[in-house]
Protein backbone atom coordinates (compact mmCIF):
# COMPACT_ATOMS: atom_id res chain seq x y z
CA UNK A 1 0.00 0.00 0.00
CA UNK A 2 1.18 3.50 -0.79
CA UNK A 3 -0.26 6.48 1.06
CA UNK A 4 0.93 10.07 1.05
CA UNK A 5 -0.37 12.69 3.44
CA UNK A 6 0.02 16.05 1.69
CA UNK A 7 -1.84 18.18 4.21
CA UNK A 8 -1.97 21.84 3.07
CA UNK A 9 0.49 21.11 0.23
CA UNK A 10 -2.43 19.55 -1.68
CA UNK A 11 -3.98 22.99 -2.25
CA UNK A 12 -0.61 24.53 -3.12
CA UNK A 13 -0.01 21.84 -5.74
CA UNK A 14 -3.45 22.31 -7.28
CA UNK A 15 -2.92 26.09 -7.42
CA UNK A 16 0.44 25.62 -9.15
CA UNK A 17 -1.12 23.26 -11.70
CA UNK A 18 -3.81 25.79 -12.57
CA UNK A 19 -1.43 28.75 -12.83
CA UNK A 20 1.14 27.73 -15.43
CA UNK A 21 1.18 26.70 -19.09
CA UNK A 22 4.52 24.92 -18.67
CA UNK A 23 5.42 21.93 -16.52
CA UNK A 24 6.54 22.93 -13.04
CA UNK A 25 8.74 20.65 -10.96
CA UNK A 26 9.63 20.37 -7.31
CA UNK A 27 10.69 17.96 -4.61
CA UNK A 28 8.60 16.93 -1.63
CA UNK A 29 10.46 16.67 1.63
CA UNK A 30 9.07 14.80 4.59
CA UNK A 31 9.26 11.45 6.34
CA UNK A 32 7.83 7.94 6.39
CA UNK A 33 5.94 6.80 9.47
CA UNK A 34 4.37 3.62 10.80
CA UNK A 35 4.77 0.02 9.75
CA UNK A 36 2.95 0.71 6.46
CA UNK A 37 5.46 3.48 5.64
CA UNK A 38 2.90 6.25 5.11
CA UNK A 39 4.63 9.27 3.62
CA UNK A 40 4.07 12.61 5.34
CA UNK A 41 4.89 15.68 3.26
CA UNK A 42 6.34 18.63 5.16
CA UNK A 43 7.45 21.01 2.42
CA UNK A 44 7.68 21.48 -1.32
CA UNK A 45 10.96 22.78 -2.74
CA UNK A 46 10.48 24.03 -6.29
CA UNK A 47 13.10 23.56 -9.00
CA UNK A 48 13.65 25.38 -12.26
CA UNK A 49 12.53 23.53 -15.39
CA UNK A 50 15.48 23.60 -17.81
CA UNK A 51 13.68 21.84 -20.68
CA UNK A 52 13.42 23.61 -24.02
CA UNK A 53 10.04 21.86 -24.37
CA UNK A 54 8.78 22.87 -20.91
CA UNK A 55 5.13 22.83 -22.02
CA UNK A 56 5.30 19.02 -22.22
CA UNK A 57 8.24 17.84 -20.07
CA UNK A 58 10.55 18.84 -17.26
CA UNK A 59 14.26 18.64 -16.67
CA UNK A 60 15.03 19.85 -13.16
CA UNK A 61 17.99 22.15 -12.65
CA UNK A 62 20.58 19.91 -10.90
CA UNK A 63 21.56 22.62 -8.40
CA UNK A 64 17.91 22.88 -7.33
CA UNK A 65 17.84 19.13 -6.68
CA UNK A 66 20.89 19.57 -4.46
CA UNK A 67 19.14 22.41 -2.61
CA UNK A 68 16.13 20.17 -1.94
CA UNK A 69 18.36 17.46 -0.49
CA UNK A 70 20.30 19.98 1.59
CA UNK A 71 17.13 21.52 3.02
CA UNK A 72 15.75 18.06 3.82
CA UNK A 73 18.97 17.03 5.54
CA UNK A 74 19.12 20.26 7.56
CA UNK A 75 15.56 19.59 8.78
CA UNK A 76 16.25 15.94 9.60
CA UNK A 77 13.93 14.86 6.76
CA UNK A 78 14.26 13.18 3.36
CA UNK A 79 13.31 13.91 -0.21
CA UNK A 80 10.25 11.63 -0.36
CA UNK A 81 8.68 12.62 -3.66
CA UNK A 82 8.94 14.23 -7.07
CA UNK A 83 6.19 16.74 -7.85
CA UNK A 84 5.38 18.07 -11.30
CA UNK A 85 2.48 19.45 -13.27
CA UNK A 86 0.78 18.44 -16.49
CA UNK A 87 -0.75 21.72 -17.71
CA UNK A 88 -2.85 20.19 -20.47
CA UNK A 89 -2.99 16.46 -19.67
CA UNK A 90 -4.60 14.33 -16.98
CA UNK A 91 -2.73 13.78 -13.69
CA UNK A 92 -1.28 10.39 -14.65
CA UNK A 93 2.31 9.34 -15.29
CA UNK A 94 3.47 9.70 -18.87
CA UNK A 95 5.97 7.50 -20.71
CA UNK A 96 8.63 10.12 -19.92
CA UNK A 97 7.62 10.05 -16.23
CA UNK A 98 8.04 6.26 -16.21
CA UNK A 99 11.60 6.72 -17.47
CA UNK A 100 12.25 9.19 -14.65
CA UNK A 101 10.85 6.77 -12.09
CA UNK A 102 13.68 4.38 -12.93
CA UNK A 103 16.16 7.00 -11.69
CA UNK A 104 14.00 8.34 -8.85
CA UNK A 105 12.15 5.31 -7.37
CA UNK A 106 10.12 7.40 -4.92
CA UNK A 107 6.54 8.64 -5.02
CA UNK A 108 5.69 10.84 -8.03
CA UNK A 109 2.92 13.39 -7.61
CA UNK A 110 1.32 14.73 -10.78
CA UNK A 111 -0.97 17.76 -10.61
CA UNK A 112 -3.10 19.11 -13.41
CA UNK A 113 -6.13 21.38 -13.63
CA UNK A 114 -8.08 18.09 -13.74
CA UNK A 115 -6.85 16.78 -10.39
CA UNK A 116 -3.99 15.23 -8.49
CA UNK A 117 -2.44 11.77 -8.71
CA UNK A 118 0.36 10.02 -6.83
CA UNK A 119 2.25 7.00 -8.09
CA UNK A 120 5.02 4.71 -6.89
CA UNK A 121 7.25 2.57 -9.09
CA UNK A 122 7.12 -1.17 -8.50
CA UNK A 123 3.77 -2.92 -8.38
CA UNK A 124 2.74 -6.05 -6.54
CA UNK A 125 5.14 -8.06 -8.71
CA UNK A 126 8.00 -5.77 -7.69
CA UNK A 127 9.00 -4.89 -11.24
CA UNK A 128 10.16 -1.34 -11.98
CA UNK A 129 7.97 -1.36 -15.09
CA UNK A 130 4.91 -1.61 -12.89
CA UNK A 131 3.35 1.50 -11.41
CA UNK A 132 0.96 1.56 -8.47
CA UNK A 133 -1.38 4.38 -7.61
CA UNK A 134 -1.05 5.87 -4.14
CA UNK A 135 -3.78 7.13 -1.86
CA UNK A 136 -3.57 10.87 -1.25
CA UNK A 137 -4.69 12.27 2.08
Dist. CA 47–CA 24, nearest whole Å: 8
Burial of 36 per CB tally in 10 Å (0-12, 13-18, 19+): exposed
From residue 36, alpha-carbon distances to 1, 4, 33, 62 in Å are 7, 11, 7, 31
Our answer to whether residue 23 is catalytic in this structure is yes
Assign 69 to helix, strand or coil.
Answer: helix
Set 23, 38, 57, 99: catalytic member: 23
Spell out the residues 6+ positions from residue 104 whose beta carbon is closer than 8 angstroms to its own: 82
Spell out the residues 6+ positions from residue 75 whose beta carbon is closer than 8 angstroms to its own: 29, 42, 43
- Tell how many helices (H) and how many strands (E) occur in the chain: 3, 8
Question: Catalytic site residues?
Answer: 23
Amino acid sequence: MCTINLGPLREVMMHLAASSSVELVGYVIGYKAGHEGEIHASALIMARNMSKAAEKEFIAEPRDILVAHTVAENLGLDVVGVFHTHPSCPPVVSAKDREGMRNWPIVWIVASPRGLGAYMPGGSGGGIGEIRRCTIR
